[in-house]
Amino acid sequence: MGLIVQKYGGTSVGDLDKIGNVANRIIKTYKAGNDVVVVLSAMSGVTDKLIAMAQKAAEKPDRRELDVLMATGEQTTASLMAMMLIGMGYPAVSLLGHQAEVRTDNAYGNARIVNIGTDRIHQFINGRHIVVIAGFQGAEPNGNITTLGRGGSDTSAAAIAAALQADVCEIYTDVDGIYTADPNICSQARKIEKISYEETLEMASLGAKVLQIRSVEFAKKFNVPVHVRSSFNEEEGTMVMNADAEMERLVVSGVTSDKNEARLTFKKVPDQPGVAAKIFTPLAEASIVVDMIIQTSPTDGHNDITFTVPRGDYERAMAIGEKIVADLGADSIRGKTDIAKVSVIGVGMKNHSGVAAKMFATLAAENINIRLISTSEIRISCVIDEKYAELAVRVLHSAFGLDAE
Amino acid sequence: MGLIVQKYGGTSVGDLDKIGNVANRIIKTYKAGNDVVVVLSAMSGVTDKLIAMAQKAAEKPDRRELDVLMATGEQTTASLMAMMLIGMGYPAVSLLGHQAEVRTDNAYGNARIVNIGTDRIHQFINGRHIVVIAGFQGAEPNGNITTLGRGGSDTSAAAIAAALQADVCEIYTDVDGIYTADPNICSQARKIEKISYEETLEMASLGAKVLQIRSVEFAKKFNVPVHVRSSFNEEEGTMVMNADAEMERLVVSGVTSDKNEARLTFKKVPDQPGVAAKIFTPLAEASIVVDMIIQTSPTDGHNDITFTVPRGDYERAMAIGEKIVADLGADSIRGKTDIAKVSVIGVGMKNHSGVAAKMFATLAAENINIRLISTSEIRISCVIDEKYAELAVRVLHSAFGLDAE
């Protein structure tokens, strides 16, 4: 028995039947003696439908007003869920973002949670109510409605769990948990039982989009265990928590691939101070996020500078690059969009050497050329040709001993 | 130039094209130098769709939660309208019920407005913003969302106009204004240019459902002129205001019919004290609203007691009646649902005699039997057989000189 925050995503509350299934799951947890706080997303598809409507209303919808519109999605599921629970004979109450005192800054569409007042929630919990909170939304200091950006309900749940010092934050979704690789690519992928916050962050930011990065950051900061699991079965999912000795025995916990990047290279840039600033300042001003940056060692006073950007920003980045080629004194700019970034991730890497060498050798054995390399303390990423992405994931998964027995 | 509150109903904001038309109308008023506060209903059909959804979620949806769900309808139109106005280059802001400080009691589903804090609205008006308020909704003292009941957006508009001391409250709808009779029944019906609050109240409560009764009560109390007009053309509609000399020259302003009642009669009830209480107490306890009550003069110590109830409550009223027949010592109870109430209404009646006589004679000339009669200071109503309702309206409309020239 304890205080459990449960978050259900859009596919889990996609229609009234599914909301009914979720209600039964909530009741089961409640009847076991737990205090239950539920955080809900909008029904799947609803958010997209609202955005489409807004874009018909105005070419560039006002962000404050867009948030007011968006907030109706979670308002609908929260009230329907509370209604259903009450109809089934259990005390429940819905709270919208501002009613649950989810206080944010005023960055409409992508607001950050500043703090959460827990008095009202505690009051209902103490009265043994099931508290159903509309996820994804909050209010800024003037009482204007804000939303937290895509996947913001995960963030709501983690932040509420942290504020309430919940025993666990359960994130219910349409997958069983976090896998060692994407099962659609790698049939040998296995569900991970326990994984550290840090590894989850690396996996999420690298394309295995199970959990929102910000929600993991919240959970990590306040040390709330997050249980990622399916709302369609009763199986245990993946527990995201502080690294323990068991996790660190494994060298690599997972392999990911990300096809959402594109590569640009300035050829023969004079090796002078200030060159990097000339390249990356205009990109930053255009809000283009540069991921990897590699500079070759100089030959005849020139070197090549290569970097990656999100594929959706490729055309804009290329246009900016072409404008500054002459100014840089570079020879030319070239680009390539059919690339993929494959990564191996594991907290165990900290204590093991040879992971990079093994990764490079494994790829080389399949004649896969490595175009770019970047590393963090618990991750090694290689950019390769897109066509090899799936093969690379499979051979790395096998090489690092992750294949199912 | 002045401060104008404009309310647009569900058919006027039924889709994005219509919202666009309304936006143009708002801008026209704004550009003429007026301060504009807009109150919106949900898109037509949306409220019914939400109720249907709630009824699938729970047999008897919790009223607090139902209001949370309902409120999304107006939230959607208000944000879309503000977005559209901003997109067209005009400063606008949406306010939900609680943001506009529409404070109500906690009678979920049918809340009454207690007061409206105008600071926030004035602040935006002073900055020359078009303020778009979600109608139909408010918040009770604990911050829970409430709704004002069917047609509540009219009430929102009138109350906001009263609180702001607006110069006029314009109610835009899908009809041109208030007519001397239902044009679908009486081809000679004419649009009324000016009508008193009192007459409008009698007309509204008698089935000519152009304006919500409560909104007229608000407007009357705070003496806000209400202009009922169509959002689909530029014509002047009907001005609802304090009675003036011109109105009082007319004996009758309008003729209405109402088929929403049913009649019940206790036959041969002993003429004893306490009989009426025995009949009407159980009906009141069952929340059945009794409209007209007629008691015949006693014959042999007995009389007949006849009353009308809403047709939807007829079965329940009859069941209650059958239970108490014996207790009353009455002979029997009979009922009839195929009745209609026709009424003539006019503030001019106060100063004219013979209106009732003329009404009875007009109906008699068509061989229409009068089953029941009730009167107020400015209204005479007769219950007749349902089949004569339309004929009665037409002959009365003509007899009282209301036919179009």
Q: How many structural domains compose chain A?
A: 1
The token pair that represents B48 in the structure block: 């019914």
Residue B158 placed within a domain:
yes
- Among B63, B68, B101, B121, the strongest candidate for a mutation testing the A interface, having the largest count of A CBs within 10 A, is B68
pTM over 0.90: no
Query: Which domain covers residue A79, as residue numbers?
Result: 3-174
The C-alpha atoms of residue B344 and residue B364 are separated, in whole angstroms, by: 16
Q: Is B27 on the interface with A (CB under 8 A)?
A: no
Residue B49 placed within a domain:
yes
Whole-number pLDDT of residue A256: 94
Q: Is B94 on the interface with A (CB under 8 A)?
A: yes
> How confident is the prediction along chain B (405 residues), in pLDDT tens digits per residue?
799 999 999 999 999 999 999 999 999 999 999 999 999 999 999 999 999 999 999 999 999 999 999 999 999 999 999 999 999 999 999 999 999 999 999 999 999 999 999 999 999 999 999 999 999 999 999 999 999 987 799 999 999 999 999 999 999 988 889 999 999 999 999 999 999 999 999 988 776 667 888 889 889 999 999 999 998 888 999 999 998 877 777 889 999 999 999 999 999 999 888 888 889 999 999 989 898 888 888 888 899 999 999 999 999 999 999 999 999 999 999 999 999 999 999 988 887 788 999 999 999 999 999 988 988 889 999 999 999 999 999 999 999 999 987
Residue B101 placed within a domain:
yes
CATH number for the domain harbouring residue B98: 3.40.1160.10
ipTM of the complex: 0.82
The token pair that represents B345 in the structure block: 């209404």
Q: How many CB pairs under 8 A join A and B?
A: 107
Q: Is B109 on the interface with A (CB under 8 A)?
A: no
Residue A77 placed within a domain:
yes
B129 neighbourhood in chain A, CB within 8 Å: none
Tell me the three state secondary structure of residue B200. Answer: helix
pLDDT in tens, A239-273: 999 988 777 778 899 999 999 999 999 999 998 88
Minimum-distance CB partner of B57 among A65, A80, A93? A80
Asked if B144's CB is within 8 angstroms of A99's CB, the reply is yes
Closest CA of chain A from B56, distance in Å: 8
Closest CA of chain B from A237, distance in Å: 29
Residue B186 placed within a domain:
no
Task: For residue A191, give the DSSP letter.
Answer: B
The answer to whether the CB of B219 falls within 8 A of the CB of B197 is yes
What's the gap between Cα B190 and its chain centre?
A: 20
pLDDT in tens, A206-241: 766 678 888 898 899 999 999 999 988 889 999 999
A53 neighbourhood in chain B, CB within 8 Å: 16, 80
Residue B399 placed within a domain:
no
Q: Is B59 on the interface with A (CB under 8 A)?
A: yes
Whole-number pLDDT of residue A172: 93
Quickly count: other Cβ atoms within 10 Å of residue B252's Cβ: 27
Q: Is B60 on the interface with A (CB under 8 A)?
A: yes
Whole-number pLDDT of residue B9: 92
A56 neighbourhood in chain B, CB within 8 Å: 16
Residue A207 placed within a domain:
no
A71 neighbourhood in chain B, CB within 8 Å: 75
Which of B404, B1, B8 has the alpha carbon at shortest distance from B166? B1
The C-alpha atoms of residue A190 and residue A177 are separated, in whole angstroms, by: 10
Asked if B59's CB is within 8 angstroms of A19's CB, the reply is no
The answer to whether the CB of A139 falls within 8 A of the CB of A145 is yes
pLDDT in tens, A130-185: 999 999 999 999 999 999 987 799 999 999 999 999 999 999 988 889 999 999 99
Q: Is A101 on the interface with B (CB under 8 A)?
A: no
B75 neighbourhood in chain A, CB within 8 Å: 68-69, 71-72, 75
User: Which residues 285-314 on chain A approach chain B with CB closer than 8 angstroms?
Assistant: none
Whole-number pLDDT of residue B301: 87
The amino acid that residue A379 corresponds to is R
Residue A311 placed within a domain:
no
The token pair that represents B192 in the structure block: 């009324």
Quickly count: other Cβ atoms within 10 Å of residue A219's Cβ: 27
